């Protein structure tokens, strides 16, 4: 099994506050996984550990990737710069910028300022910025949270479409149950803090699960039995 990220007994504390406890998981190459848990359970801290932004943990993390992209909760675009100029902060390679904008279907808006873009378009720009680095893995920190439902679904479809083409590994943290079901090939349900895995769900046979399908509702009811 080709693994992108593997942890063994990962534990993270801030002072006396334990945030992650004894977490052992493996994320396969080109896999889409979701860590699902309630607000404040340690999801973002976990993402920061897995991505190398936090290093003072105990236990082990094996990271088998070279380039990582990040898609944040907020677009974090510089308001006085056009979308094109925002992406120039990441790379001076104009071909990469052009390809990334085409992938997220924003090439016609390259010279617009962020204020002229809808919330969904700004989040697609957020995704374009991650794609520019030609990532082996992209870390998603609740990127669908602040979007209306239509924009949420459109962004999720874009992520899945591009991921299937480019085969990078996707790691999502979210408290949205349906988001996790539709997005992921594997779901790790986390406990309330300190975060530990209470259930792992294989979704590989549910690749085309849709947001409002009866099958999604079935999984939602099952997950709620484990969701604290």
pLDDT tens across 163-195, in order?
Answer: 999 999 999 999 999 999 999 999 999 998 799
What is the model's pLDDT at position 215?
Answer: 87
Q: Report residue 3's pLDDT band, with 50, 70 and 90 as the boundaries.
A: very high
What is the model's pLDDT at position 112?
Answer: 96
**Mean pLDDT, to the nearest integer, of 78-85?**
95
Full strand arrangement of the beta sheet holding 137-141: 68-71, 137-141, 169-174, 32-36, 186-190, 197-202
Q: Report residue 69's pLDDT band, with 50, 70 and 90 as the boundaries.
A: very high
Domain 1-66+137-145+169-228 sits in CATH at: 3.40.50.300
Report the alpha-carbon distance of residue 185 to residue 44 in Å, rounded: 20
Contact in structure between 5 and 171 (CB atoms under 8 Å): yes
What is the model's pLDDT at position 228?
Answer: 67
CB-based burial, 76-93: b 16+ in 10 Å, e otherwise:
ebeeeebbbebbeebeee
User: ∠ at Cα 185 (65, 209), nearest 5°?
Assistant: 145
- Of all residues in the chain, what percent carry a pLDDT higher than 90? 74
Per this entry, what is the length of the chain?
Answer: 228
Does residue 131 have a pLDDT over 80? yes
What is the model's pLDDT at position 225?
Answer: 87
**Mean pLDDT, to the nearest integer, of 133-143?**
94
Does residue 206 have a pLDDT over 90? no
Mean pLDDT, rounded, of the chain: 92
Q: Helix, strand or coil for residue 142?
A: coil
What is the model's pLDDT at position 59?
Answer: 95
Q: Report residue 210's pLDDT band, with 50, 70 and 90 as the boundaries.
A: confident
Lowest-pLDDT choice from 26-30, 50-54, 155-159, 208-212: 208-212
Q: Report residue 154's pLDDT band, with 50, 70 and 90 as the boundaries.
A: confident
> Could you tell me the pTM of the whole model?
0.93
Does residue 135 have a pLDDT over 90? yes
């Amino acid at each position: 099994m080709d693994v992108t990220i593997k942890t063994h007994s990962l534990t993270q504390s801030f002072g006396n506050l334990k945030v992650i406890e004894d977490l052992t998981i493996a994320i396969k190459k080109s896999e889409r996984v979701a860590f699902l848990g309630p607000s404040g359970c340690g999801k973002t801290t976990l993402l920061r550990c897995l991505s190398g932004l936090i290093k003072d943990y105990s236990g082990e993390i094996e990271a088998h990737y070279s380039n990582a992209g990040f898609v944040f909760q907020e677009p974090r675009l510089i308001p006085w710069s056009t979308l094109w100029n925002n992406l120039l902060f990441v790379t001076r390679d104009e071909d990469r910028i052009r390809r990334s904008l085409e992938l997220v279907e924003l090439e016609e808006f390259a010279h617009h300022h962020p204020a002229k873009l809808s919330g969904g378009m700004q989040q697609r720009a957020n995704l374009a910025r991650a794609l520019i680095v030609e990532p082996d893995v992209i870390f998603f920190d609740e990127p669908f949270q602040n979007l209306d439902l239509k924009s949420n679904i459109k962004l999720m479809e874009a992520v899945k479409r591009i991921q299937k083409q480019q085969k990078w590994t996707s790691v999502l943290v979210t408290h949205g149950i349906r988001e996790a079901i539709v997005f992921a090939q594997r779901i790790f349900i986390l406990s309330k803090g300190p975060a530990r895995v209470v259930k792992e769900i294989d979704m590989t046979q549910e690749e085309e699960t849709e947001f409002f399908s009866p099958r999604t509702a079935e999984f939602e009811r099952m997950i709620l039995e484990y969701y604290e």
